[in-house]
Amino acid sequence: MILTLQEHRSFIYVAMLALLSWLLVNMFELQETHLYEAPAHSADFYSKGYVKWTMNHLGQLHEKLEVAELIHYSDDLSTKMIQPRLSIYTEDVGLALASWQITAQQAMLYKTGKELLLKDDVHIIKTDTASKTQFRIDTTNVKINTTTHYFETSEFAKLTRYPSQLTGMGMHGRLVQPMTLELLSNVKGIYETTNH
């Protein structure tokens, strides 16, 4: 079978069209693969103005978490929080006033949800209704076990209960009853009494 010049051209055009189609398909497949690859440690959830309420067994407010920005990462299941504020309400104080206020510039909640790291300008304020006073802990880089409520820091810490004040390097303790606080080294204090 002998092909004419016209048939050769048709065959060449069809072959070139098939080759061009194959090249275009492969080029777009490569681009699609690269478009959907997520970089390592990338966010899979983001929220601005996040608020979470937790109720007690009676349906009353127990905890309120407010976060300016919340970012969840899919690779290690950690959650980063910008400007978190946790208010914990207990029956002895009543629902109008939080018995605990915990704030920081940043926080990181790790995979299991049991380890929380508070970073930069950490303030822990406890309201004491019996004496109608507050005490305040000011420090940085606090690790909290969310199950046992044990906390620790190796940074400078200041404990204030007006008008008295204790300072030291490092602190650890428990944030639930029986509550304990211990400054670890270089402890200094100022104790003043108030006149009634």
Confidence tier at 49 by pLDDT (50, 70, 90): very high
- 88-109 pLDDT, tens digit per residue, is 877 654 545 567 889 999 999 9
- 143-188 pLDDT, tens digit per residue, is 988 888 889 999 999 988 878 888 999 999 887 777 788 888 888 8
3-class secondary structure per residue, 103-158: ECCEEEECCCCCEEEEECCEEEEEEECCCCEEEEEEECCEEEECCCCEEEEEEEEE
Q: What is the full DSSP assignment across 38-102?
A: PPTT-EEEEEEEEEEEEE-TTS-EEEEEEEEEEEEETTT--EEEEEEEEEE--TTT-TTS-SEEE
Confidence tier at 123 by pLDDT (50, 70, 90): very high
Alpha-carbon gap, residue 71 to 194, rounded angstroms: 46
Q: In whole numbers, what is the pLDDT of the chain averaged over residues?
A: 80
- Contact status, residue 148 vs residue 172, Cβ threshold 8 Å: no
Q: What is the pLDDT of residue 61?
A: 83
CB-count exposure of residue 78 (10 Å: 0-12, 13-18, 19+): middle
- 50-73 pLDDT, tens digit per residue, is 998 988 888 888 888 899 999 998
Least confident of 39-43, 55-59, 83-87: 39-43
| pTM (global) more than 0.85 | no
Confidence tier at 84 by pLDDT (50, 70, 90): very high
Q: Is residue 34's pLDDT more than 60?
A: no
Confidence tier at 4 by pLDDT (50, 70, 90): low
